[in-house]
A and B are shown apart, each in its own frame.
Chain A
């Protein structure tokens, strides 16, 4: 049985990575057909940097995802701190609200926001309301639950006496928050922010319903492209993005591994009665 599941695991990884490999090989192919490899070329990369279309779209995507993830991190962290202090009924209602965008199919969220913006556009008598702001609002909305769900466990795990101890030692509540609470929940905040950022960067379905011609993100434009034959410079962009995301993930992994190792060390030292600093 162990052997069988190992075989399945290997096959699944092949299954997951073969299409990506096809795209990467396609980025070095002088034929625009993914299937036929003509000869090795770097032209697709040159074309990617020469034409001024795809990179500005990538920039648009980055702008939206950076602002949306920062905004949802601040708003979501504040909300989590508040939820922590809520009474049972209020907390239930808030978590119900939080779960709506998580459980709803993306297309329903997209459609509902599209209708809201159309309605708001009529009210404000703006002809083309869709664009940067509608995209930003939509992205913040679907990012918020991820931030809350990743900060919340850290906050419930935290020893509430820590805050009291800090205040006994002379901290004001605000100081206690920044010196103790924030420090304790920071890993949750960072992972929430990163999750929000990646969700935003790659979002297609919701963006597709709320984007306007003045502000388009990369996934939406790739969708519009895929109705026609694709230019292989898109494969070049894919390869570069793949390498960038791989690098970021590896870096995060190394940092996390170090963090756990350090925690384990300090715990062992504490047990041995040595100072932890």
Chain B
């Protein structure tokens, strides 16, 4: 039975709408915005954007690590509950991802503003008002808030797969709680950690909405620059060059992360 041809339409679709668009990005990145002639000027100007690239990477890495530290206990706790409770809690983790992240981010702005709810509560304790929004810390908070579910989901999946008999065996052999965690549970969760960090890092490093709303004037991220090249500054060639560099950067990071697990299954654990 020949069924391969069933993939035909899909392959054509992906060539047309994934590979060719990427080729066009490369084409734009190496052509002049006015004359359309070949140029490396766009790529040569990347040096000027290096600080922005570095800041984006830095903010995304910090967010991913905070997500890991917060997400791991949550995933672990969910995995310890009864099956029905697990389903319900897992649903509560997924639910925020399905509803407008724009509005939810905006809600944070109003919570953290100088006259916002948090500052009012602090004011009653005699503290503040603190400057909680329009700085890098707020951008990190926005990223952690938006992408934390992407960390919890793969962590939960791997923790669920850990054979409880391994934990029993470690305890029988004299490990205390901390040792069981460090020597059994944590090493077995590495695929989930890698996939969680990737799933937080990629959207975080390329965001533009969160930095626009929560960040200050100095928190510009690479996504902001790309967005402005297409929406306000109208220099798609420079935008394409920036996108190309961003894409390569993300691919390198993902490849390095996947190297830790030794297999390329990490994407499939969602």
Contacts and interface: CB of A to CB of B under 8 A. Distances in A.
Contacts of A35: 110, 113, 115-117, 120
Interface string A172-216: 010000000000000000000000001001101100010000000
A12 B100 CA distance: 19
B250 A105 contact: yes
A47 interface: no
Contacts of B70: 8, 12
B236 to A, nearest CB: 6
Given A19-B107, A84-B3, A97-B11, 8 more contacts: A6-B73, A12-B73, A102-B267, A112-B25, A141-B17, A153-B268, A173-B1, A205-B209
22 contacts: A1-B178, A4-B73, A9-B77, A9-B78, A15-B145, A20-B96, A26-B107, A35-B113, A75-B10, A79-B7, A82-B5, A83-B7, A85-B4, A94-B7, A109-B21, A118-B236, A201-B98, A202-B98, A204-B102, A209-B230, A223-B102, A249-B95
Interface of A: 1, 4-6, 8-9, 12-13, 15-20, 22-23, 26, 33-35, 75-76, 78-79, 81-86, 90, 94, 97-109, 111-116, 118-119, 137-138, 140-141, 144, 148-149, 153, 173, 198, 201-202, 204-205, 209, 218-219, 222-223, 226, 230, 234-235, 238, 241-242, 245-246, 249-250, 253, 256-257
Interface in B7-31: 7-11, 13-15, 17-22, 24-25, 28
Interface stretch (B39-47, B132-140, B161-169, B199-207): B199-207
Given A8-B74, A82-B5, A105-B247, A97 B107 contact: no
Contact of B18 (A34, A105, A141): A141
A116 B6 contact: no
Contacts of B110: 22, 33-35
Interface residues on B, range: 35 or more
Interface stretch (B84-92, B123-131, B186-194): B84-92
B226 interface: yes
B227 interface: yes
B21 A103 contact: no
A19 B107 CA distance: 5
Counting chain A CB atoms within 10 Å of each CB, which of B2, B10, B28, B77 scores highest? B10
Given A118-B236, A230-B106, A242-B99, A78 B243 contact: no
B230 A204 contact: no
A100 B209 contact: no
Contacts of B22: 100, 112
A15 B87 CA distance: 20
B104 interface: yes
Contacts of B113: 35
Given A105-B205, A115-B25, A253-B87, A9 B74 contact: yes
B102 to A, nearest CB: 5
A48 B111 CA distance: 24
A79 B10 contact: yes
A253 B92 CA distance: 11
Contacts of A5: 73-74, 76-77
Contact of A253 (B14, B88, B97, B240): B88
3 pairs of A and B residues whose beta carbons are closest in the complex: A82-B7, A79-B10, A5-B73
Counting chain A CB atoms within 10 Å of each CB, which of B13, B19, B226 scores highest? B13
Nearest to A115: B24
Given A79-B7, A108-B206, A219 B107 contact: no
B2 A85 contact: yes
B262 interface: no
Contacts of B20: 116
Contact of A108 (B101, B148, B246, B267): B246
B256 interface: no
Contacts of A19: 104-105, 107-108, 111, 145
B253 to A, nearest CB: 10
Contacts of B25: 108, 111-112, 115
Counting chain B CB atoms within 10 Å of each CB, which of A103, A112, A235 scores highest? A112
Given A22-B110, A116-B17, A81 B116 contact: no
Contacts of B55: none
A219 B243 CA distance: 23
A22 B106 CA distance: 10
B122 interface: no
B255 to A, nearest CB: 10
Contacts of A12: 70-71, 73-74, 148
Contact of A241 (B19, B96, B100): B100
Contacts of B18: 97, 100-101, 112, 141
Contact of B181 (A1, A81, A101, A106): A1
B154 interface: no
